[in-house]
Structure 1
Amino acid sequence: MTVNRRASANAVETAADLSEPSTFEAVVSGPDQVHWRKAIHAELELMRLRNVFRAAKLPNGQRVISTKWVFKIKRKADGSIEKC
């Protein structure tokens, strides 16, 4: 198997330009917010289509389970970005 080192180095440099935010606030105010907002919208739309959530009345004395967004960059084998 041969590896094109120049192409791999360029792919890594490009992937390094896009950082993974650690908070939701960083996502909505960061320089890459357009990409991350598209990813959030796509994820929520898939959840809606799959009926992951439904509205329900919360019983007295019960609490809602909290959620956490995890923002990761999915990379191809060559290091280039596949999706956010």
Structure 2
Amino acid sequence: MSIDRSIPELEAWYAQYDDVSYRRESPDAYHHELVRTAEALRDDGAIDWDDWLQLKAMADQAHINALADAVRAHVEDPDA
């Protein structure tokens, strides 16, 4: 489930979404910014409600995965 990446208004959102280092280093801030950017796109009329729901679902899942990765990394190396 994703929205067409070729839509110019979504370039910034997908750039944030694809930022693996940001996601890994700060999962909560990463998620917050994705949702905030999607809300701005919706409020500006660049995307509709259904698109916003898709972007939010993608952001939510990426956040869950980032948190799981952080826990796994900590378990594997608690001193890192």
Task: Give TM-score, length-normalised by structure 2.
Answer: 0.32
Higher helix share: 2
Kindly indicate whether structure 1 or structure 2 has the higher relative contact order, using CA contacts under 8 Å at least 6 residues apart.
1
TM-score scaled by length of structure 1: 0.31
Determine which structure has more spread, i.e. the larger CA radius of gyration: 1
